[in-house]
Amino acid sequence: MFFDFCMMRGGGRRICLILVGLLCLLTTEAYEVGLTFLNSAVAKGAVCLDGSAPAYHIDKGFGAGVNNWLVFFEGGGWCNNATACLTRKDTRLGSSKKMLTTETFSGMFHNKAKYNPDFYDWNRIKVRYCDGASFTGDVEAVDPKTNLHYRGARIFRAVIEDLLAKGMKNAKNAMLAGCSAGGLTAILQCDNFRSLLPATTNVKCLADAGFFINGKTIIGTSHIEGFFADVVKTHGSAKVLSPACTSKMSPGLCFFPQNMVQYIKTPIFLINAAYDSWQIKNILAPGVADRKGTFRECKLDITKCSAAQLNVLQGFRQEFLRALTGFGNSPSRGLFINSCYSHCQTGIQETWLRNDSPLLGGTTIAKAVGDWYYGRAAFQKIDCPYPCDKTCHNRVFD
C-alpha cells in the first residue's frame, strides 16, 4: 500500500518523498540495542523491586575507544513507600520482566562520530532502572506480604562488577552518567564508582537533569523534602549516602545534591535546565499545592504561562541557582545550565548535537562535555533568564 501511494503523481508522491526523508533521518540519528539480563546478580540479592534480575543495554566499543567506558543509569522517578513501590513493581521500572527487549541509542550513545564525536567508539552502556531509589537502596529483609526488594545499591555494584569482568578493569577512560533519577545516581554514587575502578583510569561523572533541589511549592510548603526522606527511609539508602553529609544532617537531606555535592572528590559535570520541567511540575507546582489546577496549562507548555506565573518560574530559577552555590568553580567541575523548559538533554540527538541543538556561549552540550572530559577546555556557564535563549528545545506536554 505504501509503495502504491508512493507511485501516485502529484501531492501524494511529494508527501511520500518527505516521509521517506524523515524516516532516513530518524534511522541514522538513532538505532536499537538489545537487552542483557544480569542473571548472576540474583544470587547476590541484587534484584529489581519484584526480585527479577537487573538488566542493561550495551553497545561495545571499537578501535581507539575499546578501553573507554560510558556507564549511564536510566531515570524514572522514585517510590517512597510500600504502596507506591507495589504499583511500580509490575511495570518496567520495577521488573525486568516488563522491560522492552531493545532500547533506542541516540545522542551521547550514538556509534557514529558525526552524531557523537568524543564518545562514539566507547563501550556505551545504559543500565535500566528498576529499584525506585536511584540505585541507593539496600534492605536485607523482604516483607512476605509485599515481596518487595529494596536493593538498588546492590544492583549498582553488581552491574559495575560485571562490566569490570567484561573488560572495564582495563579501562583507560570511564564515565558514570545518568539522566533524571539516574542523574542523581551519578551524583550520589560518583565517588563509589571511582573507588571500584583502577587507580590508573581517568574517571569522571556526568549528571543530566539530576540536580533536584529542596525547593518550596507555589504555596510555600516543602513537598519534595518529605518525599525524599521517605524514599531514603523505605529503601535503607542512608548507608550509601555521603558520610560527610550524613554526619551533619539527616539522610533524607543528603539525597539532595545541593547538600552533598561539595564533598564529591571525583570530577563531575552537571547539565540541567534552570526551568527543569520535572521539577517545575513536581517540586514547584505539584498537584497537592495546585489543587485548582491554575498551573496546569503553564506546566504543559511554558509559553502558556501568565506573566504572574512566569514570575514564579523566575523565582524558582533563582532558587535553583542558589542551590548550586556549593558546586564551586574548580575546572574539574563542569556546568551547563540553560534556560530551557526541558528534562534530560544528553540521550536525544536534537539536544545533544545537531545543527539546531541548544547552545551556551555558542557551544553544544556534546562539545562542552567532550572538551571538559578530555581536558581541552573548562566549561562552566549559566544561561540568561527565560525567554532569552532562542536555541532551546522547550518541552510541550499533552
Query: How far is residue 80's CA from residue 151's CA, in Å, rounded to a whole number?
Result: 14
The count of other CB atoms within 10 Å of the CB of residue 396 is 12
Q: What is the DSSP letter of 178?
A: E
Buried b (16+ CB within 10 A) or exposed e, 369-392: bbbbbeeeeebbebbeebeebebb
Strand order in the sheet with 123-127: 102-106, 30-37, 55-59, 123-127, 68-73, 173-179, 202-208, 268-273, 333-338, 380-382
- The CA distance from 295 to 302, in Å, is 10
Cα 222 from Cα 215, distance rounded (Å): 7
Distance in angstroms (rounded) separating the CA atoms of residues 344 and 390: 18
Residue 13: HSE in the Cβ half-sphere, 13 Å Cα cutoff: 4
* Cα–Cα distance for residue pair 15/259, rounded to 1 Å: 54
- Which residue's C-alpha cell is 538533554? 345
Q: In Å, how far are 69, 280, 281, 311, 340 from 306, measured between CA atoms? A: 45, 15, 16, 9, 17
Q: Catalytic: which of 50, 118, 191, 276?
A: 276
Q: What gap in Å lies between CA 268 and CA 43, rounded to an integer?
A: 33
Q: Is 343 marked active-site?
A: yes
Nearest CA to 201 out of 242, 239, 160 is that of 160
Taking phi over 0 as left and psi of -120 to 50 as alpha, with beta for the rest, 61 belongs to: beta
345, 207 contact by CB (below 8 A): no
Contact 183, 75 (CB under 8 A): yes
Active site residue 230: no
* Active-site annotation holder among 118, 277, 343, 389: 343
Among this protein's residues, is 180 annotated catalytic?
yes
Q: How far is CA 232 from the centre of its chain?
A: 19
Report the C-alpha gap between 319 and 208 in whole angstroms: 19
**Which one is catalytic: 52, 106, 134, 180?**
180
Q: Which positions are catalytic? A: 180, 276, 343
